[in-house]
Chains A and B, each alone.
Chain A
Amino acid sequence: SFAKELFLGNIEQKGVFPFPEVSQHELSEINQFVGPLEKFFTEEVDSRKIDQEGKIPVDTLEKLKSLGLFGIQVPEEYGGLGLSNTMYARLGEIISLDASITVTLAAHQAIGLKGIILVGNEEQKAKYLPKLSSGEHIAAFCLTEPASGSDAASIQTRATLSEDKKYFILNGSKVWITNGGLANIFTVFAKTEVVDSDGSKTDKMTAFIVERDFGGITNGKPEDKLGIRGSNTCEVHFENTRVPVENVLGEVGGGFKVAMNILNSGRFSMGSAVAGMLKKLIELTAEYACTRKQFNRNLSEFGLIQEKFALMAQKAYVMESMAYLTSGMLDQPGFPDCSIEAAMVKVFSSEAAWQCVSEALQILGGSGYMKDYPYERMLRDARILLIFEGTNEILRLFIALTGLQHAGRILTSRIKELKSGNVTTVMETIGRKLRDSLGRTVDLGLTGDLGVVHPSLGDSANKLEENVHYFGRTVETLLLRFGKNIVEEQLVLKRVANILINLYGMTAVLSRASRSIRIGLRNHDHEVLLANMFCVEAYFQNLFSLSQLDKNAPENLDEQIKKVSRQILEKRAYICAHPLDRAS
């Protein structure tokens, strides 16, 4: 895929340049849909009330069901809308106007029933999907347990096969289940005993479709949360729940793959959802900034306020580009593996959301802090984005390690030769280093006469090419230095992931802005500005990160960071003496 190629210092243009488009027919179809939906969300959904009361009103849910939003991606033959990933992202933009509804719907269809679509067999699909897509039944995804946050190996829920081999008896507890109190259908992951080919018994994870009617299912009371307070999150307990063997999702013992597929497939949509939220946010704050007077001037005339709008617009533009680029890739035939790209979209958009909402609140100053305005609620709601669907820390490791694994496989022979001291390879490497240090220009074919990037973005494209080239070199050096031990170097991995996210963002905006210029979209000069601005910022960030990845760089403070934290964690406290303390 595109991201994996970046690790080798290449830019794979297929699927990325030109920016993916949807057909006119599809577009007009979705636009018919978007209008009423937007109207419904702006006029009928009272986010403030949802937040205060901690639940979504029944009539709102009914309306959502009648709009078909509970089965956006369910194929049409099962009663869903059967929309593509790109269209799903488009609807997500509007749904995101209320965070609680977004989370409820996402838990239902992005993870709750996704397993049935991805790996369910015909009977399971026919039995469950129609009712799920109509919203008659709500789905929930049950993986997390008290003992396991991100560590799925320690799940304790067990499913044991009954004597007559017709049922699995399910026992255990799951925590933090979104929709846990509303759901009728649960995708539950439990340990089952599996006999290996050599006859030994091991515990493996299996996915089950569990109906509430199977009995023995109880809920804890809804959790009181910081944000997304309208969504229902609670514990779900299973006590001797009898699950028929037909309800095993995928294979017995194959739950791990199911869980991984579900989680990896749902992440890209956060990009467009956050972008939708940010666009709304920009409207709200711009209205305020242009009317509020301070020192006889509008707020909008102050540079420090203007800067915040530029930041919000830039972030929104980048994440939108990344999200639709990724969804466009996902919609290409052959189920391409875009898990790295989706993870990058998630990391970028969640962090941008937090930053931008915070800046928006800052524009309002003290008023933003008050409950009269929606900003504090948006801030609270945005905080969860950094945590769920895989925390950003874990996703960074995923991004970096998956790419390094790919690069490592391809570079293995070269690195082996280098390590054994093959004269030709060593000389070649030294020669390459020498050429790089003498400042050769990098040309990966983005610009020029037949280039895919528009000339007004040429400088930015050159910056991207340069970054990609040196990133490839750095990856090679890192692999040479650490080899498989790089798994333990989390600070290094974080930087690799950060660079990659920036590179992907640069690619996305270059591709999108080029398309906008060529087909002459409205305000494309604005897009060019945003794209160039982001590319310059990202370029310098990347240069800094790349130099930090150098072994003896003065910018690299890893050793000090590790030592400081080690000393603190040994004592489990801040250990400096008080500034007022005296020696005597």
Chain B
Amino acid sequence: KDEPWLVPRPPEPQRKPIKVPAMHEDLFKPSGNRERDKASFLNAVRSFGAHNVRKRGHVDFIYLALRKMPEFGVERDLSVYNLLLDVFPKEVFRPRNVIQRIFVHYPRQQECGVAVLEQMERHGVMPSAETEFLLIQIFGRKSYPMLKFLRMKLWFTRFKNINPYPVPRDLPQDPLDLAKLGLRHMEPDLSAKVTVYQMSLPSDSTGMEDPTQPHIVGIQSPDQQAALARHNPSRPVFVEGPFPLWLRNKCVYYHILRADLPPPEEEKVEEIPEEWELYYPQKLDLEYSRSGWDDYEFDVDEVTEGPVFAMCMAGAHDQATLIKWIQGLQETNPTLAQIPVVFRLARSTGELLTTSRLEGQSPPHSPPKGPEEDDETIQAEQQQGQS
């Protein structure tokens, strides 16, 4: 009865197209019990050169090798890219006259060269002088791969450190460490203290009533602690969340403890204690202050959002877990015991759905409802890369 085009059709069981094995695929086949690592990749590339003295089909081979690189964990290795470029025959594709130079000379090969550079760009690999030398040898100075190379040389240096809050390239695998990293990443105050309120227990420990005890990590800065101590106990504080935070390809979820902005009549005017004037006057008894014409500050609208008192990341997003966090916070913030805490948790976390297959695969130390859901292939790659 539904409009057929409004409802997405249930996904048909995907009939995989009959895969034609690409050429040279067998070079990358795991041979025997060999690891899939850099050495075996280099081996494959070298054996292509050895078998193919005339380098027939080298473009196909390079495309294939580019696809295979992540599997072997060498996608960030400059020397491997240089070796791949080295597969191209030298001097053959260099334009030799004006007309060749005007029209794209050997377009398929040039595209392939650009593809190599593009993959380098995607993985943030900066080409080196050796790359330049190879490109000049293969395609000549005035060619598209060379142009691409120059652009990379120019922009990579400028964009490399553009992020003032860099995230480490290899994220920690342990969700606890990842949570600490994420919290530190969000907290601008360097004197903030990270506290582990609860360690996650391995799910296979039987005998416990609650075998799946999720980890709880929180962060609070001294300023936040002071602000919480000043908070009017008759006004509630809220636990809100979960909010997503992306660290490279991982998404973690955090909760905050916050309050509404106090009404203006409650704001206390800070009086300067007399003792501060012991050494020098803290304020001048004058009626006039800095005038508007001398004010070069931007006109900034203050955000009318309440103060945030603390943040946490937990293995589970239910109220029971977060209550434990609040209890932990009460030890360092005694006033929190008098303040009513309201939980405003989003019903659906908006998390990426977990496929049951991944759950089966997930390592035993991560909780079943673990917040970090990642692209399975990437995780697989990283494990490859680490091994």
Tell me whether B279 and A416 are in contact (CB under 8 A). Answer: no
Segment at the A interface, from B17-25, B288-296, B331-339 = B288-296
Q: How far is the CB of A150 from chain B (nearest CB, A)?
A: 6
Tell me whether A483 and B126 are in contact (CB under 8 A). Answer: no
Segment at the A interface, from B53-61, B171-179, B195-203, B268-276 = B268-276
| B275 partner residues in chain A, CB cutoff 8 A | 151-153, 155, 205, 256
Pick from B128, B160, B188, B285 the residue with the most CB of A within 10 Å: B285
Tell me whether B156 and A584 are in contact (CB under 8 A). Answer: yes
Tell me whether B278 and A484 are in contact (CB under 8 A). Answer: no
9 smallest CB-CB distances across A and B, nearest first, come from A398-B280, A584-B126, A153-B275, A583-B157, A153-B273, A483-B289, A483-B288, A152-B275, A484-B286
Question: In the complex, which of the residues B127, B160, B280 contacts A402, with contact meaning CB atoms closer than 8 Å?
Answer: B280
Pick from A152, A390, A416 the residue with the most CB of B within 10 Å: A152
Residues of B within 8 A of A (CB): 126-128, 156-157, 160, 188, 190, 273-291, 294
Question: In the complex, which of the residues A390, A394, A419, A484 contacts B283, with contact meaning CB atoms closer than 8 Å?
Answer: A484
Is the CB of A485 closer than 8 A to any CB of chain B?
A: yes
CA distance A481 to B289 in the complex (A): 8
Q: How far is the CB of A114 from chain B (nearest CB, A)?
A: 15
Contact indicator per residue, chain A 393-408, by CB within 8 Å of chain B (1) or not (0): 0110110011011001
Tell me whether B288 and A398 are in contact (CB under 8 A). Answer: no
CA distance A152 to B277 in the complex (A): 9
Tell me whether B285 and A409 are in contact (CB under 8 A). Answer: yes
Tell me whether B289 and A397 are in contact (CB under 8 A). Answer: no
| A404 partner residues in chain B, CB cutoff 8 A | 284
Is the CB of A83 closer than 8 A to any CB of chain B?
A: no
CA distance A582 to B47 in the complex (A): 35
Tell me whether A481 and B291 are in contact (CB under 8 A). Answer: yes
List 9 A-B residue pairs with CB atoms under 8 Å apart, sorted by A's residue number. Answer: A256-B277, A263-B279, A405-B284, A408-B286, A483-B286, A483-B291, A484-B284, A570-B188, A571-B190
CA distance A398 to B127 in the complex (A): 59
| B285 partner residues in chain A, CB cutoff 8 A | 405, 408-409, 484
CA distance A205 to B273 in the complex (A): 11
Tell me whether A583 and B284 are in contact (CB under 8 A). Answer: no
| B156 partner residues in chain A, CB cutoff 8 A | 583-584
Is the CB of A259 closer than 8 A to any CB of chain B?
A: yes
Tell me whether A402 and B286 are in contact (CB under 8 A). Answer: no
Of chain A, the residue at the smallest CB distance from B188 is A570
Question: In the complex, which of the residues A394, A409, A583 contacts B126, with contact meaning CB atoms closer than 8 Å?
Answer: A583
CA distance A342 to B354 in the complex (A): 75
Tell me whether A398 and B279 are in contact (CB under 8 A). Answer: yes
CA distance A537 to B230 in the complex (A): 53
Tell me whether A394 and B279 are in contact (CB under 8 A). Answer: yes
Tell me whether A419 and B291 are in contact (CB under 8 A). Answer: yes
Is the CB of A487 closer than 8 A to any CB of chain B?
A: yes
Q: How far is the CB of B62 from chain A (nearest CB, A)?
A: 23
Q: How far is the CB of A373 from chain B (nearest CB, A)?
A: 36
| A486 partner residues in chain B, CB cutoff 8 A | 284
Question: In the complex, which of the residues A150, A205, A484, A583 contacts B288, with contact meaning CB atoms closer than 8 Å?
Answer: A484
CA distance A402 to B282 in the complex (A): 10
Tell me whether B278 and A260 are in contact (CB under 8 A). Answer: yes
| B279 partner residues in chain A, CB cutoff 8 A | 150, 152, 263, 390, 394-395, 397-398
Is the CB of A121 closer than 8 A to any CB of chain B?
A: no
Tell me whether B287 and A416 are in contact (CB under 8 A). Answer: yes
| A398 partner residues in chain B, CB cutoff 8 A | 279-281
Tell me whether B157 and A415 are in contact (CB under 8 A). Answer: no
Tell me whether A412 and B286 are in contact (CB under 8 A). Answer: yes
CA distance A151 to B272 in the complex (A): 12
Q: How far is the CB of A562 from chain B (nearest CB, A)?
A: 12
Of chain A, the residue at the smallest CB distance from B78 is A584
Tell me whether B278 and A487 are in contact (CB under 8 A). Answer: no
Tell me whether A482 and B278 are in contact (CB under 8 A). Answer: no
Q: How far is the CB of B133 from chain A (nearest CB, A)?
A: 15
Contact A482-B190, Cβ < 8 Å, known A256-B275, A398-B281, A583-B156: no
Tell me whether A485 and B274 are in contact (CB under 8 A). Answer: no
Contact A153-B276, Cβ < 8 Å, known A485-B289, A572-B190, A583-B156: yes
Tell me whether A401 and B281 are in contact (CB under 8 A). Answer: yes
Tell me whether B286 and A152 are in contact (CB under 8 A). Answer: no
Contact A412-B273, Cβ < 8 Å, known A397-B280, A401-B281, A583-B156: no
| B126 partner residues in chain A, CB cutoff 8 A | 583-584
| A151 partner residues in chain B, CB cutoff 8 A | 275-276
Q: How far is the CB of B31 from chain A (nearest CB, A)?
A: 35
CA distance A8 to B290 in the complex (A): 20
Tell me whether A402 and B281 are in contact (CB under 8 A). Answer: yes
Is the CB of A479 closer than 8 A to any CB of chain B?
A: yes
| B283 partner residues in chain A, CB cutoff 8 A | 484, 487
Q: How far is the CB of A486 from chain B (nearest CB, A)?
A: 7
Question: In the complex, which of the residues A256, A395, A487, A571 contacts B284, with contact meaning CB atoms closer than 8 Å?
Answer: A487
With A394-B279, A401-B280 given, name 9 new contacts (CB 8 A): A152-B275, A152-B276, A256-B278, A260-B277, A398-B280, A408-B286, A412-B288, A482-B289, A584-B157
Tell me whether B287 and A583 are in contact (CB under 8 A). Answer: no
Q: How far is the CB of B192 from chain A (nearest CB, A)?
A: 12
Tell me whether A483 and B157 are in contact (CB under 8 A). Answer: no
CA distance A482 to B292 in the complex (A): 10
Contact A485-B276, Cβ < 8 Å, known A401-B281, A584-B156: no
Q: How far is the CB of A95 from chain B (nearest CB, A)?
A: 26
Q: How far is the CB of B117 from chain A (nearest CB, A)?
A: 14
Of chain B, the residue at the smallest CB distance from A203 is B273
| A153 partner residues in chain B, CB cutoff 8 A | 273-276
CA distance A572 to B189 in the complex (A): 10
Q: How far is the CB of A25 from chain B (nearest CB, A)?
A: 38
Q: How far is the CB of A522 from chain B (nearest CB, A)?
A: 41
| A395 partner residues in chain B, CB cutoff 8 A | 279-280
CA distance A37 to B127 in the complex (A): 79
| B190 partner residues in chain A, CB cutoff 8 A | 571-572
Within 8 A of B (CB), among A437-476: none
| A205 partner residues in chain B, CB cutoff 8 A | 274-275
Contact indicator per residue, chain A 54-67, by CB within 8 Å of chain B (1) or not (0): 00000000000000
Q: How far is the CB of A410 from chain B (nearest CB, A)?
A: 11
Within 8 A of B (CB), among A357-405: 390, 394-395, 397-398, 401-402, 404-405
CA distance A483 to B293 in the complex (A): 13
Pick from B273, B278, B280, B290 the residue with the most CB of A within 10 Å: B278
| B290 partner residues in chain A, CB cutoff 8 A | 481-483, 485
Tell me whether A479 and B281 are in contact (CB under 8 A). Answer: no
Of chain A, the residue at the smallest CB distance from B294 is A481
Tell me whether A152 and B284 are in contact (CB under 8 A). Answer: no
Contact indicator per residue, chain A 484-527, by CB within 8 Å of chain B (1) or not (0): 11110000000000000000000000000000000000000000
Tell me whether A401 and B160 are in contact (CB under 8 A). Answer: no
Contact indicator per residue, chain A 192-234, by CB within 8 Å of chain B (1) or not (0): 0000000000001100000000000000000000000000000
| A397 partner residues in chain B, CB cutoff 8 A | 279-280
CA distance A150 to B280 in the complex (A): 10
Of chain A, the residue at the smallest CB distance from B129 is A584
Of chain B, the residue at the smallest CB distance from A204 is B274
Pick from B188, B282, B286, B291 the residue with the most CB of A within 10 Å: B286
CA distance A485 to B190 in the complex (A): 29
| A583 partner residues in chain B, CB cutoff 8 A | 126, 156-157, 160
Pick from B127, B281, B282, B284 the residue with the most CB of A within 10 Å: B284
Q: How far is the CB of A584 from chain B (nearest CB, A)?
A: 4
